[in-house]
Chain A
C-alpha cells in the first residue's frame, strides 16, 4: 500500500515536471498565437485575394515533393547499403548522412550560383547549344524540392538504417528463411516494422522544410512561412504576422497527423540486442557499378561538390585583394558557435530525458499531451520563436522587477540565457522525438521489474532506461547540435552584443549578396557540423560493418 502511494506520488512529480517543461517551452509560441483570437480581418481578406491561395498550394506541393523525395532517396539508399554489398558500400553506409552538416540555405545559394542562369554550367550550355537553348529552370519549385531533398534525406536515411540494422531487418531475414519471396517478406514483414521510422524521418524533413523562409526565397517560392515575413517585415504588422504563423502551425499539425497515419498500427516494444539485421548480398557486375554510381551521385550533389565549390571560393576570397572580412575573429566565432551548440544540446537532452521518462512513470495520458506541446517550437519558423521569446524574456525581466529583484539592464534578452532558452524552445522536439523512441523500445515490463525491486524512478532512468536508450539519446543530442550550428534567425535576434557565431558571420556577408566571401564561414559551419555527425555515424554503425 505504501509502495503504491509512493508510486502515485512519484507519478505526479514526473507528470508535473513534464507539464512545467512543456509550459516553459510553449509560452513563446502560445503568446503570439493568442492574437488569432482577435484576427486582423482586413489583412486576411487582402491576403486571401492576393497571395494566400498560391502560398497554400506552393507550400503543399513543396512539402509533398520534399517528403516523397526524401523518402525515396533516404529510404532507398538505406535499403541499398543495408541489404547489399558493393564497392564502397561500407563507406557509403555512414558517409551518406554527411549532408546533415550542410545548411539548406548554403546548398541553396551554391546551387543557384553554379546551376543558375548566370552560373558556369548554363554558361557552357549556352556556348554549346546557343543563347536560347532550353535548360531546366533552377529557380523553381522543382529546384527547391531537389535542394531540400538533398540536404534533408539523411533524416530518413538515418532512421531507416537504424531500423534495418535492427528488428525490421531481422524479421525480413526470418521471413525469407521461412520461404517468403523477397517482395512478400519486404511488404508483409519488413515494411510494417519500418513504417514508424520512415514516418518519423519524413515528418522531421517536412518540419524543416515548412519552417524554412530563407532557402525558399532564393528559389522564388511563396510559402506560408514566407507570407509571415512579408507581413511582418514589409507591413510591420506583428499581430497579423503572428496570426499567419498559426497557418504554419496548422500545416505542422497536418504533418503530425499524417505521421501518425503513416506509422501504421504496429507497436513494437522489443529489447534490442538480439536483432542481427539484414544478411547482405553481394552485388556483381553492372548492378554493383550502378549502386556505386547512385550513392556517389547523391553524395556528390548534396555534399562533395558544394563543399569543394565553397572551399574554392573561400580560398580565392581569403587570399584575394578584398580578403574575407573579420577573418581575424575566426577563432572567436568558432568558439561561440561550439559553446552555444553544446549548451543547447545539453539543455535539450536533459529536457527530453525528463519529459520522455515522465510519460513512462506518470501513468497519465496527459503527460503525453505535455510532450506534444513541448514540441510546438519546432513547428513554427525560427524568427517567430525568437520574437515570442523576446516577449517572454522581457516579461521575465519586468516580472523580476515587480517582485523587487531589480536587475541592471536587459538581463534576459541581453545574455546567453535568453538565446539558449529560445533555441531550446525551437529544438527540444527533435531531441524529444528520438529520446522517446529510445525509451519506448524499453519494454514496460522491464521498468516494472526495476520498480518492484525498489528502485526509485530516478534510478530506473539512470541504470535501466538511459543505458538501453543510449543510442537514441546520442542521436537526439547530435540532431540538436547540428541544428543549432546551422541555425540563424534566433541567434541573429537574441544573441548578446558581441556574441557572434559562424552563422551570423555567414549571414552578414550573404545578406549583402557577398556569397563568395560568405563561403569561408559557410564551409566552416559544414566542417564543424561534421564532428557531431561523424560521432553519430560511428556510434550508430559501429557494429554494422
Chain B
C-alpha cells in the first residue's frame, strides 16, 4: 500500500467517522513504562520482569500476529502506544522499516552485540534471537552419513516421498525460500522449491513434521531447531537427529526474532535501554526459555542446545534485511512452484 493511498483513506475515514461516533475519553498516564507490540510469545514475561526488577522500568506488552500488529502501528501513526515493535521474522521487520515505522537507532553497544548480518543496515531494527531452520532426519532408519546435508539436495528424486515440509503460508517457510532467492537467484530457487514440492508431504507445523519422521511418514524434514529440542526435552530418546545444513557451503539459514523502536515512542532512550539489555545481559533470559540461539557472539547458548547441537555452526550470512525484503517474492515463488 502506498503512503499516499493510506493518507487519502485515513482522511476519508476521518471525515465520515467524526460525524458518526462520539467517545468518552480515556487517559494513559505514562511514568516509566515501555510498551511493546510483539509477535513473539515465548516466555516474554520472564525476560521483561527481570528487566523491570533490575531497572524499575515497567513493561506492558501486546501479543499478536506480526503482520496485524505492524498494520496497527502504521495506521495508528503518532497515536500509537507502541514504543517497540517485536516480531518473529525478518520479513515483517523489513516491511515495517519500509513503511517508515521505525527510527534509526544509533547505539555502539547494539552494533557490537548484534552481528552485521542480523541487523538492518540503517539500524532500524536488530535481531535479538536466532532460530536455525535446518535439516532433521530419522536416526532409526538412517545413519548420519546417509542424511542430506544441503537444502538443494532435498529437491533430488531420491527424496521423493521421504520429505516432510511445512506449508507455504508459514513465515518460516517463506523466509527460507527468500534466503534461497537471495543466495542463488530466483530461477535456481524455483527449481529447488519445485523439487521440494514434488517430493514432499506438506504439513501444518514443525512439531507434526518431527513426529511424522518418528512415525515413519517421512525420513527427513526441514524444521526450526528448537522444536526438536522441545520434543527431546519430553522424550530423550526421540528418534530424530539434526544436521546443520550446508556447512561446507554458505551455511544454515537462520531466521530471527527482532525488534525496532517506533517513530512515535514516548521515550526512545528508555526503549533503547531495553533493546540493549535484551541484546547483552538479557540475552539468556530472552532466548533460553525457547531454546533459541543468542545473537550476541559473546553470549553462550543454554547447555541443552549446546550439548545436543553444539554451541556454534556455520550460519548463512545473507543479511536478514535482504531476505526479509525478498519475502513477497518468496511467496510468489512458492505459488509458482505449486507448493501447497
User: What residues of chain A have their CB less than 8 Å away from a CB belonging to chain B?
Assistant: 20, 23-24, 27, 31, 34, 46-47, 50-51, 112, 116-118, 122-123, 126, 131, 139, 217-220, 222, 226, 229-239, 325-326, 383, 386-387, 390-400, 402-403, 407-415, 417, 421, 489, 492-498, 500, 504, 508-509, 511-513, 515
Contact = CB atoms under 8 A, between A and B. Distances in A.
B25 interface: yes
A157 B158 CA distance: 51
Contacts of B63: 500, 504, 508
Contacts of A515: 207
Interface string B73-97: 0011101110000000001100100
A90 to B, nearest CB: 41
Given A47-B335, A217-B204, A396-B18, A233 B171 contact: yes
B215 A222 contact: no
A319 to B, nearest CB: 15
Interface residues of B, number: 75
Interface of B: 1, 5, 9-18, 20-21, 23-28, 35, 41-43, 45, 60-69, 71-72, 75-77, 79-81, 91-92, 95, 167-169, 171, 174, 202-208, 211-212, 214-217, 227, 290, 327-328, 330-332, 335-336, 338, 340
Given A395-B14, A408-B25, A493-B65, 19 more contacts: A24-B21, A27-B17, A31-B9, A118-B214, A122-B215, A220-B167, A230-B331, A234-B327, A391-B13, A394-B77, A395-B12, A396-B17, A397-B79, A398-B13, A399-B18, A409-B81, A411-B23, A413-B75, A497-B61
Given A220-B204, A390-B75, A234 B174 contact: yes
A391 B9 contact: yes
A237 B328 contact: yes
In the A-B complex, the 6 residue pairs with the closest CB atoms? A395-B13, A399-B18, A234-B331, A118-B211, A410-B79, A235-B328
Contacts of B217: 117-118
Contacts of A498: 60, 62
Contacts of A238: 1, 71
A495 B71 CA distance: 14
A413 B76 contact: yes
Nearest to A122: B215
A50 B15 CA distance: 40
B286 to A, nearest CB: 15
B204 A218 contact: yes
Contacts of B66: 233
B291 to A, nearest CB: 12
A258 B322 CA distance: 48
B328 to A, nearest CB: 4
Given A118-B211, A217-B167, A410-B81, A402 B14 contact: yes
A290 to B, nearest CB: 36
Contacts of A395: 10-17
A392 B42 contact: no
A513 B72 CA distance: 25
A407 B72 CA distance: 18
Given A387-B68, A415-B26, A493-B68, A400 B18 contact: yes
A74 to B, nearest CB: 28
A139 B204 contact: yes
A132 to B, nearest CB: 9
Contacts of A397: 76, 79
Contacts of B15: 395, 399
A131 B202 contact: no
A233 B215 CA distance: 32
A391 B79 CA distance: 13
A396 B79 contact: no
Contacts of B202: 220
A401 B43 CA distance: 38
A394 B7 CA distance: 11
The A interface, classified by DSSP as helix, strand, loop or mixed, is: helix
A513 B205 contact: yes
Most chain B CB within 10 A, of A27, A233, A392, is at A233
Contacts of B327: 234-236
A220 to B, nearest CB: 6
18 contacts: A24-B20, A217-B167, A217-B204, A219-B204, A220-B204, A234-B331, A235-B327, A383-B68, A390-B76, A394-B13, A407-B23, A411-B23, A414-B26, A417-B23, A495-B62, A498-B62, A504-B63, A512-B42
Contacts of B214: 118
Contacts of A131: 216
Given A118-B215, A226-B169, A497 B20 contact: no
A266 B202 CA distance: 48
B20 A236 contact: no
Nearest to A123: B215
Contacts of B42: 512
A226 B168 CA distance: 11
Contacts of B65: 233, 492-493, 511
Contacts of B60: 497-498
A234 B169 contact: yes
A21 B209 CA distance: 48
A418 to B, nearest CB: 9
Contacts of B24: 417
B18 A497 contact: no
Contacts of A500: 63
Nearest to A406: B25
Contacts of B71: 238, 387, 390
A487 to B, nearest CB: 14
Contacts of A393: 17
Given A118-B212, A387-B71, A394-B75, A400 B23 contact: yes
Contacts of B21: 24, 396, 421
A278 B25 CA distance: 55
B18 A394 contact: no
Most chain B CB within 10 A, of A23, A402, A408, is at A408
Contacts of A139: 203-204
A493 B64 CA distance: 6
B7 to A, nearest CB: 10
Nearest to A489: B68
Given A397-B79, A497-B62, A239 B5 contact: yes
Given A233-B171, A497-B35, A497-B62, A325 B43 contact: yes
A211 B192 CA distance: 34
Contact of B14 (A399, A408, A489, A508): A399
Most chain A CB within 10 A, of B26, B66, B327, is at B26
Most chain A CB within 10 A, of B17, B211, B331, is at B17
Contacts of A396: 13-14, 17-18, 21, 23
Contacts of A497: 35, 60-62, 81
A230 B45 CA distance: 30
Nearest to B330: A234
Most chain A CB within 10 A, of B64, B66, B328, is at B64
Given A235-B332, A236-B95, A411 B14 contact: no
A321 to B, nearest CB: 9
B41 A493 contact: no
A18 to B, nearest CB: 14
B25 A411 contact: yes
Contacts of B76: 390, 394, 397, 410, 413-414
Nearest to B335: A50
B328 A236 contact: yes
Contact of B331 (A235, A413, A504): A235
Contacts of A31: 9, 12-13
B332 to A, nearest CB: 6
Most chain A CB within 10 A, of B16, B79, B81, B327, is at B79
A398 B78 CA distance: 10
Nearest to B340: A220
Contacts of B336: 50
